[in-house]
Amino acid sequence: MATAEVFMSSKRYTDEFRAEAVKQVLERGFTVVDVAARIGIPKHTLYDWVQKAKKAGKPAAGSAPTGTDSAEVRRLKAELRRVTE
């Protein structure tokens, strides 16, 4: 039964911690995998937080353009933020 206890335990994260992690993905353009590895959380946990934030309608800094160019614009903005940090 010891293995069941391992799966039953879960860490609790503060709202500020979650918000900052999501912000790094949505606003700064880092990948879920990179952020999760850097802050030491499972990538599926961060992915869930990001999906919930998107569903809640929390926009990233500024409103991202819609259409075919939006992905490229987001990528370029993210690259610029990384370079200037």
- Give the Cα separation of 16 and 18 in Å (integer): 5
pLDDT (tens, 9 = 90+) of the chain, 85 residues, equals 454 444 444 678 899 999 999 999 998 989 999 999 999 999 999 999 999 999 987 555 554 445 556 777 788 788 888 888 7
- Supply 74's token pair: 């987001």
Can you give the length of the chain in residues? 85
- Give the Cα separation of 25 and 5 in Å (integer): 31
pTM of the model: 0.57
- Give the Cα separation of 19 and 41 in Å (integer): 14
